[in-house]
Structure 1
Amino acid sequence: MNLEETIKQLPDSAGIYQYFDKDGHLLYVGKAKSLAKRVKSYFNFTPCLKPNTNLSSRITKMISQTFSMNYIIVNSEHDALILENSLIKQLAPKYNILLRDDKTYPYIYIDNSADFPRFEITRKIIKSQNIKYYGPYSVGARDILDSVYELCRLVQKKGSLKSKKLCLYYQIGKCLGPCEKDVSKEEYAKELDLAKELIQNKKILLKKLHEKMHFYAQNLRFEEAGTVRDRCERIVRSEIKSEIDFASDENYDIFVLGHTQHRAVVVRIFMREGRIISSSHDYIQLHEGYDEDELYQRVLMDFYSIGKPPIVAPILVASEFEGREIIESYLTTIFEKKAEIRIPKKGDKKQLIDLALINAAELLKRERKQDSDEIPTQIKELLHLQKLPLRVEIFDNSHMSGVATVGAMAVYEDGKFDKKSYRTYHLQARDEYSQMRETLTRRVQSFSKNPPPDLWIIDGGATLLKLALEILESSGTFLDVIAVSKEKIDAKAHRAKGKASDIIHIKLANSDCEAKFPRKDDIFRLKDSDKRLQWVQKLRDEAHRCAINFHKKTKLKLDQESKLLELKGISQAKIIKLIKHFTTFEMLKKATIEDISSVLNIKDADIIKNIYK
């Protein structure tokens, strides 16, 4: 069935639709209350099937590339919204806007029903009576809490009251000592009131921290002064400065968008009890144009997707967007109460929106380093990639004679390594091919939580490149992949220092490109001085460093565990045999006597289980 026939027989039902190009690559995933009405709105059918004339240039380009489509019927528009969001994250279609902000924001909370309450951090609702939440905080929650315990004489640790004995915190004047002393609730409440004021008013908190920092510096306690200074910087960074202070105790979550040609920014501001308490922002790469309607939907869905937030507040946005009603319906289900998305036109709430928009514009003015813009563009042109490689994942494996086998994924984004996104894996596979297959498969399995990047770089040759493409194809994900291997001289990899003649392997995804830019074996041999090659090498070397370091840590742990077993009479040869079978000591500890005796003998299995009881 061709595209036109598929469109004409679409049902008047809720569902999601997928557009594919002539090579079978996914272009777009969309949702619809009525599949028939929504999809037909993209096309004119006379005199032949073509894009509708009232579409944006971005959508016109997409429809022009559409060769076929699939669709899935669901029970409701709400179900379609959830399925659409899931598929976009997993498959990263070319024309959908992809967000990577799946983190949750911490809250500080206190259980006022306790005899001597204390503050703690949470990312979810605590099932207890009389809970009071403060937040959310984009950064600085731990710093604020540490500062409170530094400045207020509260019960410092959760288990302190159970001991019934005074501890060091009382001795150094950081606790009133209600575990043993006769401390009245009124006296303790004074310290609680001070703590609450410090949490709610950062100006007072920072003033007290600066006083403490100067005290440390005057007493030549420079290390402690530096710690307080760094803490102050993180607390300041957690919010946008503003003189807006509502005369009421209103709560609002504010979301605004800004964009340039190649990237957008989302700014979030959180107002609690009439004050701005924190803010955050994230950049979004735009590969195929900007769609504010889709982006607002993605931003709101992703932010609240973790579950009901501890504080449910009305949502303010800068402009009306298509799909606002279905997003409100979706959020109502999560919040367990009516969700409100408002577009302020005047007054204090409009000032909040304007403040957020000013900050969005300022964030977009910040230019990245020249080479972080230029080199990815040159790489895209050289290799004819589908997307500008602004976020790249690089993979390598490491082992020593099959022992402590590990995989590593380094991540490069916006001109720097994103070390928080690095991942390491303990591997069971024996040979390098199987190890890379295991590493890449595990990464693909996490696409639903951590969406694919713009480019994969594999440390290896054409064989591993083919493997990576097969794994991606089996998952339904289209992603550009390149592999980097050493030049071989007399069948040996050439690794002379300063002469690292690396070869870039790539299989072009677009057959038209292959016809237009033919080359032997899809290989690029660039000069050692070529900045494009050096860029790829830098990324490859970081993944190699990450893999080696994780291997060393794993090997050290294995050696320590091995010594324990050797002391109990298990030989080194037997230990190697065990690790090759179970891959890690953690797996060995979980194994049954029967599992271990299948590798060694029942006597040794008995010894090992006794060690790890």
Structure 2
Amino acid sequence: MLENELKTLPNLPGIYQYFDIQGRLLYVGKAKNLKNRVKSYFNFAPKLCPNPNNSLRIQKMISQTHHLEFITTNSEADALILENSFIKQLHPKYNILLRDDKTYPYIYIDFSDDFPRFEITRKIIKKNKIKYFGPFFKGAKELINALYLTFPLRQKKTCKELCLFYQIKRCKGPCKEKISKQEYEKIIQKATQALLNPLSLVKNLESKMLEYAKNENYEDAAIIRDQIKTIQELSVKIQIDLAKLEDFDIFAIYCEENILSMVRFVVNNGKVISSNYKILVLKNHNEFDKNAIYKQYILENYTKEAPINSNHIYTYEEFEDMKLLQDLLSKRFSKKFYIKTPKLREKKDLCSLALENAKINIQKHLKNEHYLILKEIKEYFKLQNFPNRIEIFDNSHMQGIANVGGLVVFKDGGFDKKSYRHYHLKHKNDYEQMLEILSKRALSFDKNPPPDLWIIDGGSALLKLANDIIKSSGANVDILAISKEKIDAKAHRAKGSAKDKLYTLEGKIQLLPEDKKLQFFQKLRDEAHRFAISFHQRTKRKQDLQSSKLIQLGISQGYIKKFLDYYGSFDKILNADFNELKLLSNTKIAKLIKENL
């Protein structure tokens, strides 16, 4: 079948997909010419086999390929966009998935205003005379608060009268023309310089912190202390002085011991104002693909919605699709982009510094406790992916009432509570409820890329269900299930003593209660259970409120909630003492309850 499919390839740009014999997606690639590109993976004589000129990783992938599909596009640039989208959605086995393409905040100022202010945005502001600073990968809010604390800027967006800020000398009163535009412009210039040199704000913040502490205002002092710490972490300690006040970005990647490290420096007016790094654990060192990584990493930092600090990008080293990516960004933002690898002087030194930071980040990661336990789990359970991002599912109901499900996310060594999700469910039994939750999650892979590992609260039947859903989605996700030990028909959850069972596609595994791998999974399962049951309780209370006879009597939900908070259940409300009800509400409501129920 594969040999026949290779004969149908057109001489057109597009993307190609390789599948194994089970129909699982192995790889997505883009090509300027599909026929030439795909055939380069194979030798055709004396029989069809992997081309030995390719890397060992590619040869292994081709040896597993049973079927291929392709989609043609109008250009290679369109193919690159489609390739990136498919990789995000489906997490193919042999593609590297960077996954996290969120838009970071920028600080901007609108110079078309008479008395402009510094604001935070994550999207392009459609106005003229906008100046952006950033992106700031952390600390944007702390930085802008420090600016307004240090400089007498216009504190409010809309202000028609002199306010408290003017009284305490935090504002010069532009609303009543207490300051000229020229004088205000000088303040803006000083604030801009501070924005480009965040450490210059620390001295004033330290004075404010000591002042608050001296006046025993310890809460505000602690807030300032945390601001100082965040601003200090923003600064990249470098000894390189750029001769020109340029804006540009620098990208560098490095791989060691199967760990990929990526770094981005953001330069505004010749100053490195922020930096970001990302760590990804590869299956093996042969998976390292410099071209694919640079493409994905740069693309996810230049989304259509994000403001653009600069159209100049410098990379530590050259990669195959530099020109293609440059043309794509130029088309996307309707302005000429430049992607280069500097050979001399300051920019080359900055690229080398970014690479050194990438190396240091790997060494820090290798010493991380969570990395060690996750590495052990990957090897012990023979997972395809390093489980850096784990999604854990649980459902909760009471005799078919208030049916809900919960999704908990463990990422980068801790629970990522911003990514937790609730689900209202229609079905009443555990199997159909889990089918409903997992199906909803799989359908969202196009917007929120799949994780490395799913953990299901249940046994072998639910594990098989999850596997069927993942196979039908085409995504590459490992799956494990954990089944609670039952004692006297009740689930025993105590970490360190419960003899829970783990299920893989290969069969059941019983680990000792003191095994750290089991305890890790118990911690994840218990967090999912806590999250699901707390949502169930809130949902049930809401349903009880809506169906309560008290509502039918015309009693407001506010009073019903007050009664519930005090008595704990409807039965106790109905049996409560008249005078007690009267004290909690009024005579009329107390009579309604006692006379009608």
Q: After TM superposition, is the score higher than 0.5?
A: yes
Cα deviation per residue 1:30-85 (whole Å; 9 max; x = unaligned)? 11111111011111111111221211121122122222212222222122111111
Choose which of 141, 166, 170 in structure 1 pairs with 2:166: 170
Q: Which amino acid counterpart does residue 193 of structure 1 have in structure 2? A: Q
2:460 — aligned with what? 462
Matches within 5 A, 1:119-268: 119-159=118-158, 161=159, 164-180=160-176, 182-268=178-264
Is 1:494–1:501's contact at 8 Å kept on the other side of the alignment? Answer: no
Match of 2:577 in 1: none
2: CA distance, partners of 1:299 / 1:7: 31
Task: Report the CA distance shift for 1:271/1:478 in structure 2 as closer, same or farther (over 3 A).
Answer: closer
| Alpha-carbon distance between aligned partners in 2 of 1:370 and 1:138, rounded to the nearest angstrom | 22
2:276 pairs, out of 277, 280, 293, with 280
The 5 Å alignment of 1:165-564 reads 165-180=161-176, 182-288=178-284, 289-307=287-305, 309-368=307-366, 372-400=370-398, 404-488=402-486, 492-495=489-492, 499-508=497-506, 522-552=507-537
Which structure 2 residues correspond to residues 38-53 of structure 1 after superposition, within 5 A?
38-53=37-52
> How far 1:112 sits from its partner (Å)?
1.8
Q: Is the alpha carbon distance of 1:306 and 1:558 closer, same or farther for their aligned partners in structure 2, counting shifts above 3 Å?
A: farther
Conservation of the 8 A alpha-carbon contact between 1:410 and 1:419: yes
| Residues 100, 239 of structure 1: alpha-carbon distance in 2 compared, 3 angstrom cutoff | farther
Q: Give yes or no for contact 1:427–1:435 (8 Å, CA) kept in 2.
A: yes
Percent identity for Structure 1 against Structure 2: 50
SS in 2 for 1:258: strand
Q: In the aligned structure 2, how far is the partner of 1:184 from the partner of 1:567?
A: 64
- Superposed displacement of residue 279, structure 1: 0.6
Bigger mean CA deviation after superposition, 124-133 or 546-555: 546-555
Q: Deviations over 1:291-322 (max 9, x none)?
A: 11111111112211344633233000011111
Provide the secondary structure at the position in 2 that maps to 1:366.
helix
Seen in structure 2, the aligned counterparts of structure 1 residues 92 and 564 have a Cα distance that, compared at 3 Å, is farther
1:152/1:411 Cα in 2 relative to 1: closer, same or farther (>3 Å)? same
CA distance in 2: counterparts of 1:315 and 1:44, whole angstroms? 38
1 CA distance for matches of 2:365 and 2:192? 39
Q: CA separation in 2, counterparts of 1:457 and 1:177?
A: 58
SS in 2 for 1:224: helix
Q: CA deviation at 1:556?
A: 6.5
TM-score (norm 1): 0.84
**What is the SS of the residue equivalent to 2:519?**
helix
The farther-off stretch of 87-96 and 393-402 is 393-402
Deviation at 1:207, TM superposition (A): 2.1
- Cα pair 1:494 1:500 within 8 Å, conserved: no
* CA–CA distance in structure 1, aligned partners of residues 550 and 329 of structure 2: 54
Q: CA deviation at 1:426?
A: 4.0
- Given the superposition, is the C-alpha separation of residues 558 and 298 from structure 1 closer, same or farther in structure 2, using an over 3 Å criterion? same
Q: Deviations over 1:145-180 (max 9, x none)?
A: 111111222222223x2xx33333233332223334
Contact 1:461 1:484 in 2 (8 A): yes
Query: What secondary structure is seen at the aligned counterpart in 2 of 1:179?
Result: helix
Q: Is the 8 A contact 1:267 1:282 kept in 2?
A: yes
Gaps in structure 1 of 5+ consecutive residues: 509-521, 576-613
Report the 3-state secondary structure (helix = DSSP H, G, I; strand = E; otherwise coil) of the residue aligned with 2:173.
coil
Structure 2: runs of 5+ lacking an equivalent = 561-597
Asked if residue 58 in structure 1 is aligned to residue 57 in structure 2, the reply is: yes
How far 1:571 moved relative to its partner? 10
Taking a change above 3 Å as real, the CA distance of residues 535 and 570 of structure 1, as seen in their structure-2 partners, is: same
What displacement does 1:384 show? 3.4
| Structure 1 residue 404: Cα displacement | 4.9
Per-residue displacement from partner, 1:124-152 (whole Å, max 9, x unpaired)?
22112322222221111111111111122
How far apart are 1:262 and its partner, in Å?
1.8
1:351 maps to a residue whose letter is: D
CA offsets 1:531-573 (integer angstroms, 9 cap, x no match)? 322222121112122223444555667778889982872799x
Please name the residue that 1:118 is paired with: 117
1:134 maps to a residue whose letter is: F
Greater alpha carbon shift after TM alignment, 524-533 vs 52-61: 524-533
Normalising by structure 2, we get a TM-score of: 0.86
Checking the alignment, whether the CA contact within 8 Å between 1:410 and 1:543 is kept in structure 2 is yes
Contact 1:92 1:452 in 2 (8 A): yes
Q: Per the alignment, do residues 374 and 170 of structure 1 end up closer, same or farther by CA in structure 2, a change over 3 Å counting?
A: closer
> Within the alignment, does 1:4 sit opposite 2:42 as a pair?
no
CA 90–386 in structure 1, closer or farther in 2 if over 3 Å, else same? same
For residues 480 and 313 of structure 1, do their structure 2 counterparts lie closer, same or farther at Cα, with a shift above 3 Å needed? same
Tell me what 2:81 maps to.
Answer: 82
Contact 1:19 1:70 in 2 (8 A): yes
Cα displacement string for residues 560-596 of structure 1 (whole angstroms, at most 9, x for unaligned residues): 8889982872799xx9xxxxxxxxxxxxxxxxxxxxx
Structure 1 range deviating more: 446-455 or 165-174: 165-174
Can you list the C-alpha shifts for 1:193-230, whole angstroms capped at 9, x where unaligned? Answer: 33223222223212221222233334433332221111
| Contact map agreement 1:486 1:493 (CA 8 A) in 2 | no
What letter is aligned with 1:58? R
Cα distance, 1:353–1:395 mapped onto 2, change above 3 Å: same
Q: Distance in 2 between matches of 1:370 and 1:132?
A: 39
Match of 2:584 in 1: none
Of stretches 79-88 and 529-538 in structure 1, the one that deviates more from structure 2 is 529-538
Q: CA–CA distance in 1 between the matches of 2:408 and 2:423?
A: 12
- The separation in 1 between residues aligned to 2:113 and 2:493, in whole angstroms, is 67
- What do residues 425-469 of structure 1 show as CA deviations (whole Å, max 9, x unaligned)? 344544433332332223222222332122100112223223222
Describe the shift of the 1:559–1:152 C-alpha distance in structure 2 as closer, same or farther (beyond 3 A): farther
Contact 2:16 2:68 in 1 (8 A): yes
Distance 1:489 1:157 in 2: 61
Q: Please, which moves more after superposition, 437-446 or 313-322?
A: 437-446
Over the aligned positions, Cα root-mean-square deviation in angstroms equals 2.7
Give the CA deviation at 1:344: 0.5
CA contact (8 A) 1:393 1:455 kept: yes
